[in-house]
Structure 1
Amino acid sequence: MNFASVRIITDNVEGLIAFYEHVLGVTAERPAPVFAEFVLPSCTLAIGHTQTTTLFGVDAENVAEAMNHPVILEFHVADIEAEYVRLKTYIHDWVQQPTTMPWGNRSMLFRDPDGNMVNFFQPITKEAIQRLNDRH
């Protein structure tokens, strides 16, 4: 089994597409007006309008409940400091500027326009680099 994608459900499809195109540096694929995908080498980030959930048999009331559950989207980057410089004036909701974490990653966190947490990280210790390399 392979992990295929994460899908953000939103009423702000166009806003999130513009945000993630800028942040990820990838143009969204748009197979339908209510759906977009950012195809990355490791996974796909999908954006779907809340109305798409009815196709899965989920009513609007259950979507609102599910949207209250926290998630952090995490992206491994080659140079955390360069990413910070690139994004520091674009991001309006910083949670944490680049900080070295106890497990050996240098990490920065911010929120997308819907309030979802996004973490860019770079392993910097020998152990953290090895842990990431062991997964590939």
Structure 2
Amino acid sequence: MYSPRPRFKFNTIGLFTSNNKATVDFYTKAFGFTTDWDGIQPNVEMMLGDMRIILYPRSDFEQMVSYKFQYPMGLNGTVELAFDVPSYADVDKEYQHALRHGAISVLPPTTEPWGQRTCYVADLDGNLIEIGSFTIEQNNH
């Protein structure tokens, strides 16, 4: 039987943080996310267009679920946030912008054999962020 609506709509990434304020500052300055977070509540919702990130302190999450988790130390190679930008030049520009706002460099901008220019940085908790494009030049007509 055909269903016009999918069962689920994937709409949010949740990140468990060691410092909500520092993470909010990073994502707002490095990538332009916005939030109306009051600086007090443990749950932070951040938006960038249709993208939504929720931040929640690791310690509060463990208390809520009554379970102690083992978090990756250093860089977290289990998942990435991927941002698509309009052109190769934008990959380089956004990489430098992210570094100026506290990102950790993982892979500088590189043009891959499959035609993508990509780079990787990490946020303050070691979460990987990819910035990439398949467009060599942006048309400004």
1:28-55 CA distances to partner (integer Å, 9 max, x unpaired)?
Answer: 2327621212223343111111203443
Q: Counterpart amino acid of 1:106?
A: R
Equivalent of residue 52 in structure 1, options 61, 64, 79: 61
Matched, 1:100 2:130: no
The Cα RMSD (Å) is 2.3
Q: Secondary structure at the match of 2:100?
A: coil
Query: Could you tell me which residue of structure 1 aligns to residue 79 of structure 2?
Result: 71
Structure 2 length-normalised TM = 0.71
Per-residue deviation, 1:93: 1.8
From the CA coordinates, give the structure whose radius of gyration is larger. 2
Structure 1 length-normalised TM = 0.74
Q: In 2, Cα distance between the equivalents of 1:116 and 1:26?
A: 16
Q: In 1, Cα distance between the equivalents of 2:10 and 2:103?
A: 30
Query: Could you tell me which residue of structure 1 aligns to residue 98 of structure 2?
Result: 87
Report if aligned partners of 1:34, 1:52 keep a CA contact under 8 Å in 2: no
**Percent identity (aligned):** 23
Query: Could you tell me which residue of structure 2 aligns to residue 21 of structure 1?
Result: 28
Q: In 2, Cα distance between the equivalents of 1:3 and 1:36?
A: 18
Report if aligned partners of 1:26, 1:38 keep a CA contact under 8 Å in 2: yes
Query: Could you tell me which residue of structure 2 aligns to residue 132 of structure 1?
Result: none
Query: Could you tell me which residue of structure 2 aligns to residue 115 of structure 1?
Result: 126
Can you give the 5+ residue segments of structure 1 that lack an aligned partner in the other structure?
126-136
Can you give the 5+ residue segments of structure 2 that lack an aligned partner in the other structure?
1-7, 137-141
Q: In 2, Cα distance between the equivalents of 1:101 and 1:58?
A: 44
Richer in helix (by share): 1
Q: Counterpart amino acid of 2:82?
A: E
Tell me: CA distance 1:21–1:3, structure 2 relative to 1, closer, same or farther (3 Å). same
Equivalent of residue 10 in structure 1, options 7, 17, 24: 17
Q: Counterpart amino acid of 1:47?
A: L
Larger relative contact order (C-alpha < 8 A, sep ≥ 6)? 2
Q: In 1, Cα distance between the equivalents of 2:34 and 2:101?
A: 17
Report if aligned partners of 1:95, 1:109 keep a CA contact under 8 Å in 2: yes
